[in-house]
Amino acid sequence: MIKSSDPKIVVALDFPSENQALMLADKLDPAKCRLKVGKELFTRSGPQLVRNLHDKGFEVFLDLKFHDIPNTTSAAVEAAADLGVWMVNVHASGGERMMTACRERLERFGSERPLLIAVTVLTSMGVDDLVGIGISDSPEAHVARLATLTRRCGLDGVVCSAQEAPKLKAEQGQDFKLVTPGIRPASAERGDQQRVMTPVEAVQAGSDYLVIGRPITQAPDPLAAMNAIYSELAAL
């Protein structure tokens, strides 16, 4: 389900209320971006919010990062597909049987199925965070391992940082989608993100979709902030 225009920016609607999310959506153009609904907004506003965004013409990435046993996770992914979302995700660390079950559960949707991607290593995590959960590999090596597993399960791509994009494009091929949060324009604060890149660096590295939250949503003029990013990308 890829739009003919296939905009690169996915705006993360990390708001505590439906009103705030819809107010921002009304300032944006569905031809120029997609919208991401994550845990906070979905837990507060539910599926009707997704339908409301669809009614405004936006395609939605439902970023609930499902991570559970295969039966539960695949049922959740199917529920997301019933909602008609453009993209849905699970955690790659849920393993091969879980991811395969999710992919199989979407088969009945044919070409109307959402893109199914897997989260590798959160962009807020660095080397020390991985050591803290017992992983001594670098983020790049662990992301690469989980991306290989994800592709073997037949999923469409992964969530990773743009820092890993060159390696992943070389190893997994051009068609394997790289969805990259942790995008920070040069002047923006990192906040809790660790593995960051600017929008231009991310696209040059091979990112397919830039997930951008606070640098757009917290800007005094969110539309201007998004347009400034597109202007930088147009110069590439």
Ligand X SMILES: O=c1ccn([C@@H]2O[C@H](COP(=O)(O)O)[C@@H](O)[C@H]2O)c(=O)[nH]1
Which residues are part of the catalytic machinery?
Answer: 65
- Compute the Cα dihedral for 96, 78, 177, 126 and give only its sign: negative
Query: CB neighbours (10 Å) of residue 131?
Result: 11
How many residues form the binding site for ligand X (CB under 6 A)? 16
* Closest listed residue to residue 211, CA positions, set 87, 34, 84: 34
User: Taking CB positions, which residue lies at the least distance from ligand X?
Assistant: 213
Q: Which residue has the tokens 């800007």?
A: 219
Kindly give, in sequence order, each residue whose CB lies less than 8 Å from that of residue 131, ignoring residues fewer than 6 positions away: none
Q: How far is the CB of 181 from ligand X (least distance, A)?
A: 3
Phi, psi of 203 (to 5 degrees): -65, -40
Q: What are phi and psi of 44, to 5 degrees?
A: -85, -35
Annotated binding site: 14, 36, 63-72, 123, 184, 193, 213-214
Helices and strands of the chain, counted as H and E runs: 11, 8
Q: Which of 7, 70, 139, 181 binds ligand X (CB under 6 A)?
A: 181
In the bound state with ligand X, the residue whose beta carbon lies nearer, of 102 and 212, is 212
Vertex 103 angle, CA 99 and 107, to 5°: 165
Q: How far is the CB of 196 from ligand X (least distance, A)?
A: 9
When binding is defined by CB under 6 A, the residue of 213, 225, 226, 229 that contacts ligand X is 213
By CB under 6 A, residue 193 contacts ligand X: yes
User: By CB under 6 A, is residue 214 in contact with ligand X?
Assistant: yes
Residue 198 lies near ligand X (rule: CB under 6 A): no
Contact call for residue 225 and ligand X (CB under 6 A): no
Q: Which of residues 108 and 137 has its CB atom nearest to ligand X in the complex?
A: 137
Q: Is 87 or 212 the residue whose CB approaches ligand X more closely?
A: 212
| Candidate segments 17-25, 47-55, 99-107, 213-221, binder of ligand X by CB under 6 A | 213-221
DSSP state, residue 57: T
CA angle 24, 163, 12 (to 5 degrees): 10
> Which residues would be at the binding site for ligand X (CB under 6 A)?
12, 14, 38, 119, 122-123, 159, 181-182, 191, 193, 211-215
